[in-house]
Amino acid sequence: MTRASEELGRKLLSERTKPGFHSEVRVRYSELASKVGAHKEIVRLAVKRAEKSQFIREWKILLNPRLIGQMFGSLQVESRLDDEEMVGALAQIKLIEGVAIISIYQGGSLRVVIYYDSEKSADRKIQLIASICGVKKEDTTLVKVSVPVTAALKKTDWRVLKAISKNTRRKSADISAELNLSTRTVNRIIQKLTDSRAMFMSSIVDVEKSLGLTVSYLIRCKEEAKEQLHKLVESQMVDFSIAGTNEYFMALIFLKNISEAERFREQLKKVPGVEEVRMYLLKEHIFVDSWLDEVIEKNAA
C-alpha cells in the first residue's frame, strides 16, 4: 500500500469511527466519498485495499451496555510487564467476565474495556486486573463512558445480531436463508440495530501494517476543557475519541512519528483546564469474543 493510499485509508477509518460510537454495519460509499472529498469508486477501492492489506484487519461488534443493564469504561493499567509476563496476564484477563477489548502498549502497560453492572462490580474487576498485572489499584485509571439510550430487542433482533456478530459484511440473503426470514426483514432489523444504537462498531487495526504510529492519549482535565479537546483531536486522523463522564478524555490517533506525537501532546497540554496528558504507543489491539458471544447467544436462544 502506498503512503497516499494509507492516508486515505486512515481518513476513511477516522470518518467511520467519529465521534466516538459508530453503529453503521453496512459501508455507504457515497456518504464516505462526500465526507473525504473523493470519488465514490476511489473510496470503495481504498476501503477494499485497506482491508486486504489488513491495516484495517476487521470490524467487531460491541453491544450497547444499556441493552443488557450494564455500563462500561476503559481501564488504564500502569504496569510494566515484559513479554513473558504479558502472555500470562492476558490469558487471565481474557477470562474475566465483561472484558471486551485489551490494548497493549509499548513498555508493558495495558488498557482494558470492561462492562460492569455496578460500582461494586467495577471495583472488583479493577482490583482483580491490577493484581494480575502486579500493580496497586492506585496505578489504574477508569474512564467511565456514557452511552446513548437504546430500545430493548426482540428475539428475532438478537438472532440477526448474532448472525452478523462474526462477520459484519455477511450478505443479507445468507442470513435470510439461515434464519428463515425474508431479506427485507433482515435489512430492516439491521437498520433498526443501527438506528437504535444497540451496537457499536470497533475497528481492529494491525499496528505493524501501519506506516506511522498509533498513539493513545489519556487526558485528565476539567469538564470545560473537553469541547476544545474534541476539536483539537478531531483535526487529526482519529481512530477513536471520547470524553469520559468523570475527569478524563481519551483519544486514539494515527500519527507519522514520535516527534509528531510529542508535539501533539504539547498542544493538548496547552488547552485551558487540562491538568495532565499521558501518551502511549499502541503495540497490539485484542478483541475478546468469549463473554460477548455468551451474552448474544443467551439472548438469541
Domains in the chain: boundaries: 3-59, 155-196, 212-283
Q: What is the model's pLDDT at position 34?
A: 72
Query: Was domain 155-196 assigned CATH 1.10.3470?
Result: no
**Among the CATH numbers 3.10.20.90, 2.40.30.170, 3.30.70.260, 3.30.70.270, which is that of 212-283?**
3.30.70.260
Same fold, 3-59 and 155-196: yes
Rounded to 10°, the helix 3-17/29-36 angle is 110
Q: What is the model's pLDDT at position 285?
A: 85
Which residue stretches of the chain have pLDDT < 50?
Answer: 18-21
Alpha carbons 94 and 54: distance in angstroms, whole number: 24
Q: In this structure, how many other beta carbons lie within 10 angstroms of the beta carbon of residue 114?
A: 26
Rounded to 10°, the helix 29-36/40-52 angle is 100
Residue located via cell numbers 453491544: 63
What CATH fold (topology level) applies to the domain 3-59?
Answer: Arc Repressor Mutant, subunit A (1.10.10)
pLDDT tens sequence across 221-273: 999 999 999 899 888 877 778 889 899 999 988 888 999 999 999 999 999 99
Taking the whole predicted model, whether its pTM rises above 0.75 is answered as yes
Q: What is the model's pLDDT at position 19?
A: 42
